[in-house]
Structure 1
Amino acid sequence: MVTTQLAPSTADDPLAYRPVALVDLLDRVLGTGVVITGDITLAIADIDLVRISLRALVASVGALVPPEVAS
């Protein structure tokens, strides 16, 4: 029986495991923005009664507003 490990082969692999501090992750999310989506369906006896579609944009104002041109 042959077993293989799922480990990145090189350090520049985009799927490689790299420890990230929570502050760095939050800085990246606020700097570039992220969209969170979800759907909720309330049903009784396989009859859909209510469907809610949610979308949220999380970003800093600086990432959304282009910088002003100095005149």
Structure 2
Amino acid sequence: MSLLDVLDRLLAGGVVIAGDLTLRIADVDLVRIDLHALLGSVGAAVPAPWEPCEPSPLRGQDGGAP
């Protein structure tokens, strides 16, 4: 099984990553960082929660100047 297959299976179900990082000098906590991430895939069949945006009549089709 390749790394890409493993990532595909993990992201299909969703993955939660959590970690703590503490910078300590002489038993005194100076900096503490809590990290939390939720990773998951979204299929193409899931509709976007916003309306598609129409190109502005003042701009070209690519969003640049006419």
TM-score (norm 1): 0.54
The answer to whether 1:31 aligns with 2:9 is no
Gaps of 5+ in 1: 1-19
Deviations 1:5-30 (A, max 9, x none): xxxxxxxxxxxxxxx22221111012
Residue 60 (structure 1) shift: 0.8
Q: Secondary structure at the match of 2:9?
A: helix
Matches of 1:34 and 1:61, distance apart in 2:
13
Matches of 2:25 and 2:4, distance apart in 1:
43
TM-score (norm 2): 0.58
Counterpart residue identity of residue 38, structure 1: G
Alignment: residue pair count: 45
Matches of 1:24 and 1:38, distance apart in 2:
25
Q: Secondary structure at the match of 1:50?
A: strand
Q: Which residue is equivalent to 1:61?
A: 42
CA RMSD of aligned residues (A): 1.6
Same amino acid, percent of matched pairs: 62
Residue 54 (structure 1) shift: 0.2
Query: Quick check: which one's helix share is greater?
Result: 1
